[in-house]
Amino acid sequence: MTFKQIPSSSGERRAAPAPRRAARKRAQAALPVFEILFDVEPVLSIVRRHVKLSKAADAAITNELIEMLGRATVQLRTADHKAEVREDDQVLTTEQAAQLANVSRLYMVKLIDAGTVPPHQKVGNQRRVLRSAVMQWQESERQR
């Protein structure tokens, strides 16, 4: 996978009210835009190793991979991204998070593994979550 910085002016243009347009231009100027190039061929070679594909299936899988990866969301973080955690935001074990949310530990593990509650870090095979993440999940469940 390769990363390449591209000019921020290459974004899509849509009609927007004048105040929003000015704010959007300021935001675009402040943030660099990156283009990520991903070669689907290595992924396809793995599939081909295990499954015999017709030419039509090969082309369809290639197109679907390209389309799916084109819509992928990428988060770029610095090496010290964990230092950005607020000091008063407690790091919890799955047991502590489950007690806080009043659910079972196994259910909390499933939520973390599914990405519903974002994991903070993994220590060996143990998961850790932020208290704020558990509280956000709990609030979203109340609203739902």
| Distance in angstroms (rounded) separating the CA atoms of residues 97 and 18 | 46
Say if residue 59 is in the same domain as residue 113: no
Contact 135, 97 (CB under 8 A): no
Domain that holds residue 108: 85-143
- Whether 76 maps to a domain, the answer reads no
Question: What average pLDDT score do residues 116-138 get?
Answer: 90
Structure confidence at residue 53 (pLDDT): 87
Question: What average pLDDT score do residues 103-115 get?
Answer: 93
Question: What average pLDDT score do residues 18-38 get?
Answer: 62
pLDDT (tens digit per residue) in 37-88: 778 888 888 888 888 889 999 999 888 888 887 777 766 666 555 545 556 7
- For the chain, the three-class secondary structure string (H helix, E strand, C coil) is CEEEEECHHHCCCCCCCHHHHHHHHHHHHHCCEEEEECCCHHHHHHHHHHCCCCHHHHHHHHHHHHHHHHCCCCCCCCCCHHHHCCCCCCEEEHHHHHHHHCCCHHHHHHHHHHCCCCEEEEECCEEEEEHHHHHHHHHHHHHC
Say if residue 91 is in the same domain as residue 50: no
What CATH code is carried by the domain that includes residue 95?
A: 1.10.1660.10
- Whether 53 maps to a domain, the answer reads yes
Question: Among 20, 45, 70, where does a domain finish?
Answer: 70
Structure confidence at residue 105 (pLDDT): 94
Say if residue 46 is in the same domain as residue 100: no
Say if residue 65 is in the same domain as residue 89: no
Say if residue 10 is in the same domain as residue 54: yes
Say if residue 61 is in the same domain as residue 91: no
Say if residue 12 is in the same domain as residue 62: yes
- Whether 10 maps to a domain, the answer reads yes
Q: Which amino acid is at 99?
A: Q
Question: Among 70, 105, 126, where does a domain finish?
Answer: 70
- Whether the predicted pLDDT of 16 surpasses 50: no
- Whether 22 maps to a domain, the answer reads yes
Contact 82, 89 (CB under 8 A): no
